[in-house]
C-alpha cells in the first residue's frame, strides 16, 4: 500500500520510538498567544488550588460513557493520554505509550508501554489494563462513546505486560489519532480495571487513572476536587498545583465575571461578546484562536417536518450567517458553508444552500401546499448559546412557526442523545482528521449520529477514506462525503466558532498551541501553575 506518510525515529529514552507523521493540518490563527502575560516569576511556582469553570456538569468519568467538556477536562487531568498531539499540525506521538508501530499493511499496530507505572489506587498500569479498557469500548453489548472511532479494532492481544497488539479488521493509516488527545475520543483514557470492576456504576466517585492529579471528591451537582498525584509517572516535580477545583458555570457572562472578580482562575469560552470584551479588559489575560469548530442546527430527519428535505433546505436558506457573524459573534469568525471551513486543508468545495429568504419562503409554501401542514417545530437550545433569538427571527421571516425551548445543558444533551427533539443547536468541535468527530456524527453506525441520517454513498466514501494511507485520496473521498452532507442537510451549518481561554493575570502555562486547543473548550490543567 502506498502511504502519503513519513516514518520518523525519535529518541526519548532510546532510539526506538517510531511514529506515523501524516501531517493533517488544522487551520488556526492565534491573535494572542503565549504561556504567560505580564510580569512575574519565569520559573514554575509550586502550590495553590486552580479554580476552573466548566460550562457543563460532570456526568461520568467512565471512559466508555462520557465525552462532554467536563468529562474530558477532568479526564485529561486524572488519566493523561496514551498518545498526544503537541501542537497544530503535529501528528500523534507516544505519551503514556512509548511506541506505536504498524505492520506493513497497517492492519496490526503494536504499542509498547513503560514499566513501573501504577494507577492512583495502586493497580499496575500495563498491557492488560489497556486491553481491559479497549475491550470495553469495542464490546458490542455496550454503547461506548469511542466505539465508532475504534470500529476498525477486531481484537486486542497482550503478548506481555509491556506490549499491546491492536488487530484491525482493515488497514487504517490514521489509527494513532484514535488513541490521541482529541475532544472526540476518550479511547486515550485508561481507567483502573480494579476501580471499574469494584465500583461499577459508582465508579465516577472513585475514578482512578495515572495522570498528574487524582480525584479527591465529587458528588453530582457539586464541584470536582482534584489533588496532586504524588506518584505521577512523569515525576511529582512535573505537577505544580496542589489541586484543581472545577465548578459548573453555564452562563458565559457569569463565568467571565467570576474571572474578573478572582473567584475563578480560568475559563474556556466560545461566546463572541465575552471574547470581544476580554480583548480590552486589563484585569484578565486572553489567549484567542480559531480552529475548525463550527456551529449548527441538528435536524432529526426521522421526525416531521424534517423528514422532508424541502424543510431542511428552507432552514438552510433562511439562516443569514453573515448577520449572525456581525451581530452575535462580534465579527470574530466567518460564515459556515459545509463540514469543513473554506480555509481548512480538508475543504474540497462543498457548499450547503446559503441565505436566500425568497427561496426559503417558496419551499415553506410548497411543503404546506403539498402536505396541508404548517412548518412548525420546537428548537431546543442552551442558555449559553448566543444566537438563538436571531435564529428564531430569521426562521420566522421565512414563514416557519418556531417554538424556542431553552434547556439546561444536561437536558439538552439527553434529548439529543435520545433522539427526542426536532431541531437543536449543536456544534462540531475542533478535529484534526474527519475520521474522528465527523465520522461519529454522520456515519450510519456512528455513536453520535442521532439525526437518523443514513446514506449508503456517504458511508462508502468515508469507510474507503479510513482504509487508504494516501492523504490526497482521503481528502477527495471526504470531499465527496461533504457534498452529500451539503445536499441532505442532517445539520444546517451556521458560523465558525471563536474559542479562547480567559484567565487571571497570575495563571501560567496556557496556550492554544497545546493539546487543549485541539479540544476546543477543554482547559488542560496538567502543567498549569499559579504565579502567586
269 SS3 class: strand
pLDDT of residue 436: 84
What is the b/e burial string over 495-514, where b = at least 16 CB atoms within 10 angstroms of the residue's CB?
bbbbbbbbbbbbbbebbbbb
Please, what is the Cα angle at 408 between 405 and 414, to 5 degrees?
A: 90
Residues 492, 299: Cα–Cα separation, whole Å: 8
Q: Which three cell numbers stand for residue 363?
A: 419551499
Positive or negative, the Cα torsion across 510, 511, 514, 515? positive
pLDDT at residue 12 tops 80: no
Name the pLDDT band for 430 (thresholds 50, 70, 90): confident
In this prediction, residue 36 carries a pLDDT of 40
Give dist(CA 42, CA 138) in Å, integer: 45
- 518 has a pLDDT exceeding 50: no
pLDDT given for residue 32 in this prediction: 37
Judged against a pLDDT cut of 70, whether residue 478 lies above it is answered with yes
The pLDDT of 83-105, averaged and rounded, is 87
Q: What's the pLDDT band for 18 if we cut at 50, 70, 90?
A: very low
R_g over Cα of the chain: 23
Q: Of 293, 252, 289, nearest to 273 (Cα)?
A: 252
Question: pLDDT for 107-155, tens place per residue?
Answer: 999 999 999 999 999 999 999 999 999 999 999 998 887 888 898 999 9
Question: 437 or 515: which carries more pLDDT confidence?
Answer: 437
Residue 38: pLDDT over 70: no
Q: What is d(CA 323, CA 329) in angstroms, rounded to the nearest whole number?
A: 9
pLDDT of residue 59: 87
Residue 414, φ and ψ in degrees, nearest 5? -60, -40
CA distance 366 to 369: 5
What is the structure's pLDDT at 73?
Answer: 87
Segment 292-314 mean pLDDT? 97
Which of the two residues, 450 and 21, has the higher pLDDT score?
A: 450
CA–CA separation, 515 vs 513, rounded Å?
7
What is the pLDDT, as a whole number, of residue 111? Answer: 99
Pick 29 or 331 by higher pLDDT: 331
Over range 28-57, report the average pLDDT: 69
Consecutive H or E run containing 247: strand 243-248
CA distance 342 to 336: 8
| Three-state DSSP class for residue 141 | coil
Taking only the tens place, the pLDDT of each residue in 336-355 is: 999 999 988 899 999 999 99
Q: What is the mean pLDDT of residues 349-363?
A: 98
- State the pLDDT at residue 6: 31
pLDDT the model gives residue 92? 87
In this structure, is the dihedral angle defined by the CA atoms of residues 262, 265, 271 and 277, taken in order, positive or negative? positive
518 touches 85 (CB < 8 A): yes
The answer, yes or no, to whether residue 27 has pLDDT greater than 80, is no
Q: What are phi and psi of 477, to 5 degrees?
A: -70, -40
Q: Pick the residue with more confidence: 497 or 479?
A: 479
pLDDT in tens, 221-265: 899 999 999 999 999 899 999 999 999 998 999 999 999 999 999
14 confidence band (pLDDT: 50, 70, 90): very low
Interatomic CA distance for residues 413 and 377, integer angstroms: 18
- pLDDT over threshold 70, residue 9: no
What percentage of the chain carries pLDDT values higher than 90?
69
CA distance 111 to 130: 10
Helices (H), 328-436: 357-371, 388-397, 409-417
Q: What percent of the chain has pLDDT over 70?
A: 88
Average pLDDT of the segment spanning 354-380 = 98
* 356-378 b/e (C-beta count within 10 Å ≥ 16 → b): beebbbbbbeebeeeeeeebebe
Return the residue matching grid coordinates 476552573. 52
What confidence score (pLDDT) does residue 184 get? Answer: 55
Q: What is the pLDDT of residue 10?
A: 29
What pLDDT score does 431 carry? 81
User: Which domains does the chain carry?
Assistant: 1-26+81-200 (3.90.76.10), 31-55+212-290+498-532 (3.40.190.10), 294-496 (3.10.105.10)
Q: Tell me what the pLDDT averaged over the chain comes to.
A: 88
- What mean pLDDT is predicted for residues 508-532? 73
Stretch 415-423: mean pLDDT: 96
The torsion angles phi and psi of 378, rounded to 5 degrees, stand at -100, 130
Could you identify the residue written with the cell 462543498?
Answer: 350
Amino acid at each position: 500500500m502506498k502511504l502519503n506518510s513519513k516514518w520518523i525515529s525519535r529518541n526519548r529514552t532510546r532510539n526506538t520510538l517510531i511514529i506515523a507523521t501524516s501531517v493533517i493540518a488544522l487551520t488556526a490563527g492565534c491573535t494572542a498567544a503565549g504561556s504567560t502575560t505580564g510580569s512575574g516569576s519565569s520559573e514554575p511556582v509550586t502550590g495553590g488550588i486552580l479554580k476552573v469553570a466548566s460550562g457543563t456538569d460532570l456526568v461520568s468519568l467512565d471512559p466508555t460513557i462520557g465525552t462532554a467538556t467536563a468529562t474530558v477536562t477532568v479526564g485529561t487531568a486524572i488519566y493523561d493520554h496514551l498518545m498526544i498531539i503537541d501542537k497544530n499540525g503535529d501528528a500523534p506521538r507516544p505519551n503514556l505509550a512509548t511506541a506505536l508501530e504498524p505492520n506493513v499493511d497497517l492492519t496490526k499496530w503494536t504499542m509498547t508501554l513503560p514499566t513501573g507505572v501504577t494507577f492512583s489506587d495502586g493497580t499496575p498500569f500495563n498491557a492488560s489494563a489497556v486491553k481491559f479498557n479497549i475491550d470495553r469500548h469495542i464490546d458490542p453489548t455496550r454503547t461506548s462513546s469511542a466505539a465508532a472511532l475504534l470500529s476498525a479494532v477486531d481484537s486486542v492481544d497482550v503478548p506481555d505486560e509491556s506490549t499491546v497488539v491492536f488487530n484491525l479488521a482493515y488497514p487504517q493509516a490514521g489509527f494513532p489519532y484514535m488513541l490521541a488527545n482529541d475532544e472526540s475520543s476518550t479511547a486515550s483514557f485508561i481507567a483502573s480495571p480494579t476501580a471499574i470492576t469494584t465500583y461499577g456504576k459508582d465508579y465516577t466517585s472513585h475514578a482512578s487513572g495515572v495522570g498528574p492529579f487524582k480525584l479527591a471528591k465529587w458528588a453530582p451537582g457539586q464541584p470536582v476536587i482534584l489533588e496532586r498525584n504524588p506518584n505521577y509517572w512523569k515525576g511529582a516535580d512535573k505537577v505544580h498545583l496542589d489541586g484543581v477545583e472545577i465548578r459548573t458555570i453555564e452562563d458565559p457572562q457569569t463565568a467571565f465575571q467570576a474571572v474578573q472578580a478572582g473567584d475563578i482562575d480560568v475559563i474556556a469560552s466560545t461566546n463572541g461578546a465575552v471574547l470581544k470584551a476580554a480583548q480590552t479588559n486589563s484585569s484578565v489575560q486572553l489567549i484567542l484562536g480559531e480552529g475548525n469548530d463550527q456551529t449548527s442546527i441538528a435536524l432529526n430527519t426521522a421526525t416531521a417536518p424534517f423528514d422532508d428535505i424541502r424543510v431542511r433546505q428552507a432552514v438552510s436558506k433562511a439562516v443569514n450567517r453573515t448577520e449572525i457573524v456581525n451581530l452575535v459573534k462580534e465579527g470574530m469568525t466567518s460564515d459556515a458553508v459545509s463540514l469543513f471551513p473554506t480555509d481548512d486543508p480538508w475543504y474540497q468545495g462543498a457548499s450547503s444552500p446559503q441565505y436566500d429568504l425568497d427561496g426559503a419562503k417558496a419551499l415553506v409554501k410548497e411543503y404546506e401546499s403539498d402536505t396541508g401542514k404548517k412548518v412548525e417545530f420546537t428548537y431546543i437550545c442552551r442558555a449559553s448559546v448566543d444566537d438563538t433569538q436571531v435564529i428564531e427571527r430569521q426562521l420566522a421571516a421565512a414563514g416557519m412557526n418556531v417554538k424556542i425551548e431553552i434547556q439546561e445543558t444536561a437536558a439538552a444533551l439527553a434529548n439529543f442523545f435520545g433522539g427526542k427533539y426536532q431541531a437543536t443547536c449543536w456544534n462540531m468541535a475542533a478535529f484534526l482528521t474527519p475520521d474522528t468527530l465527523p465520522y461519529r456524527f454522520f456515519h450510519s453506525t456512528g455513536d453520535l449520529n442521532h439525526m437518523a441520517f443514513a446514506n449508503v454513498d456517504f458511508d462508502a466514501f468515508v469507510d474507503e477514506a479510513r482504509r487508504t494511507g494516501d492523504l490526497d485520496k482521503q481528502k477527495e473521498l471526504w470531499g465527496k462525503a461533504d457534498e452529500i452532507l451539503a445536499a441532505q442537510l442532517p445539520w444546517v451549518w451556521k458560523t465558525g466558532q471563536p474559542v479562547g481561554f480567559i484567565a487571571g493575570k497570575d495563571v501560567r502555562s496556557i496556550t492554544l498551541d497545546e493539546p487543549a486547543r485541539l479540544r476546543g473548550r477543554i482547559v488542560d490543567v496538567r502543567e498549569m501553575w499559579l504565579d502567586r
